Structure 1
Amino acid sequence: MRALLVVNPRATTTSERSRDVLVRALRSAVDLTVKYTERRGHARTLARDAAESGVDLVVTLGGDGTVNEAVNGLMTASTPLAELSGPSAYRLPALAVVPGGSTNVFARALGMPRDWVDGTSVILDGIRDGRHRVIGLGRADDRYFTFTAGLGWDAATIRGVERARLRGRTSTPGLYVRSMAGQFFTGLDRKNPPLTLDRPGEESETSLGTVMVQNTAPWTYVGDRAIDLNPDASFDLGLDVTALRRLNLPGTARTVTQLAWRSGDLHGKQVLRLHDIAEFTVVASRPQAFQLDGDYLGERQKVHFVSVPSALRVIC
């Protein structure tokens, strides 16, 4: 089996020595090539090129951003089997994820251990046993995502965190909380919610302040605690949506409290929840912050979301 290991050298939970151990372990099971990312978007190019060269497996060592790039590289590759019918999962290399970021939502949602050593052992066992799982993905316009997407407040929070990290701040749960509060009070037009959600054959949902999309559960983690907006979201189903109709202070404080103490038990007139949706479009009256898999991708005024079933094989 030919495999490519895509390494983000800035992965927060590994060192050069641990990466060497990982490489030796993988080489005991596969014919391995190792590539290091050099810039944003590089993992996408490396994964796409590997798929087009006939590699059987792409392994990532990094966080959720590295995984997202690699998945997009795989899903956009023109492989020798691309003309065959059937789910794309069996026309593409498989994916394996060694957790190396600060949160690793995708790997943890798959049930992978948080420790990279234990995660590597799971992957080696999966390779030797021929074990894999087929999962669905989400697609936002022309880009795929593995676990979450968002427009509005949650994406603006991520934008604030990324800007703080560029100034040298460390990514911590506290930094996210401060960014969330700052965006709520100073970065949002709470009196005129700008978002509308349209579904084929359904009445539009208007005056939404933020829209959060899940391809699986949980939505994210705060340390060891899973935060579940829609606990029934699954890699095996369509997309789930949680939206807040108006970002007034009392209602939003109540919703955040529900998340903190009773994750998954969101309710109230402010909350819109949709389960197992195949397709929908979010339109904004003015540009809104946009994120996929925890990466801020700029501002958008319209995004078309589609569930892509049986999209990818994952060793886990």
Structure 2
Amino acid sequence: MPASAPASDASSLTSDERRRIAVIVNPNATTTSPRLRDLVLHALSHRYDVEPLDTRAPLHATELARQAAADGVDAVVTLGGDGTVNEATNGLVGTGVPLVPLPGGATNVFHRMIGMPGDIVDATEHVLTLADAWAPRPVDVGRIGTRWFTFAAGVGLDASVVARVDQHPRLKARFGPWYYAASAVGTFTRRYVVGPPRLRLELPDGRVLEGATAIFQNAPEFTFFGGRPVRMLQGEGLTTGHVSGAVLRHTRPTVMPGVVLRALVTPLDLGGHRAVDAAPAITSATLRSADERPLPVQVDGDAIGELTGDLPIGVRPGGLLVVA
């Protein structure tokens, strides 16, 4: 099956045929172990022809997913967290080969959004039942620079916090959202109280929003704090055909309590904060540095470095197929 062809549906298989799935495993994911990997692969092999693929470096999952799609698999399954999902997504967008994410990370935001059970045993059993109810569905993917994202991206403070957390995977695994919170306080006081990087978001209608931090959502939630959804911006979803953005104009300590409150209290919207400029329903925009300093960027909770030059912001409606 060519990479651009749609994945086969349940009716296209005879009773003795099995779907081919590539299972991309991130052995360094927070809740993944060699024993868990083997158990999941063994269970899936009861209903599918399974090709296990372990990642060995950053962005390897993108390469593996792209090659699996070109080889004609019926689906790519990921065992890892949101970072593994993001990398696989970047190899699958536009191929017609669906993604089936199994939870193996600390937060598993995208898994929750598309209805995948949060427990790995329950999720594996669920994927086994999908063999008889195969129904790929399209979801939108956002874009920042050259990277696609499934639910959220951040530039500035948010990305700096993620980068710091990623440097300490053991603390991330042990303390979860509380380590993120502690890292946010430390990063804010050291890098964003005085002289933070400045950015500029240029919109198609001519508006220019300048500030210290920008966020973009392609889904209802920006992330989760434990079991609590963090909804920065209201009215976004995986099938709206656009992304929503917001720019925090400054990072003075007096504004941060209100920002945190609006993130954690669902009826509130970050765009309504006095220090925030909202940019709803974006289909295209350009983000760039306003002071020539590199901008820290994160996609789907993974830091991808400090980037320079123009960063296109956009969306590909229905660009990814998922089965869940």
Partner of 2:319: 311
TM-score (norm 2): 0.87
- CA deviations over 1:11-41 (Å, ceiling 9, x no partner): 3224333322321222122211111112222
**Which amino acid in 1 is paired with 2:297?**
F
**Which amino acid in 2 is paired with 1:269?**
R
Partner of 1:276: 281
Q: Structure 1 residue 190: deviation in Å?
A: 4.5
Partner of 1:145: 149
- CA deviations over 1:29-60 (Å, ceiling 9, x no partner): 22111111122222111111111111111000
1:288 lines up with 2:288 in the alignment: no
**Which amino acid in 1 is paired with 2:283?**
A
Structure 1 residues 14 and 167: CA distance shift in structure 2, 3 A: closer
Q: How does 1:155-174 map to 2 (within 5 A)?
A: 155-165=159-169, 170=174, 172-174=176-178
Q: How does 1:177-196 map to 2 (within 5 A)?
A: 177-188=181-192, 190=194, 194-196=198-200
2-side partners of 1:56 and 1:48: how far apart? 13
Partner of 1:113: 117
1-side partners of 2:254 and 2:123: how far apart? 42
1-side partners of 2:150 and 2:213: how far apart? 20
2-side partners of 1:189 and 1:312: how far apart? 39
Q: How does 1:220-231 map to 2 (within 5 A)?
A: 220-231=223-234
1-side partners of 2:254 and 2:193: how far apart? 16
1-side partners of 2:137 and 2:96: how far apart? 13
Structure 1 residues 235 and 263: CA distance shift in structure 2, 3 A: same
**Where in structure 1 are there 5+ consecutive unaligned residues?**
76-87
4+ residue runs over 6 A deviation: 166-169
Q: Structure 1 residue 124: deviation in Å?
A: 2.4
TM-score (norm 1): 0.89
1:23 lines up with 2:41 in the alignment: yes
Contact residue 229 and residue 264 of structure 2 kept, 8 A: no
Q: How does 1:1-316 map to 2 (within 5 A)?
A: 1-75=19-93, 88=94, 91-165=95-169, 170=174, 172-188=176-192, 190=194, 194-206=198-210, 208-237=211-240, 238-262=242-266, 264-266=268-270, 267-284=272-289, 285=291, 286-301=293-308, 302-316=310-324
Alpha-carbon RMSD across the aligned residues, in angstroms, is 2.0
- CA deviations over 1:230-261 (Å, ceiling 9, x no partner): 13211112111122111111122222123234
Structure 1 range deviating more: 306-315 or 266-275: 266-275
1-side partners of 2:180 and 2:143: how far apart? 25
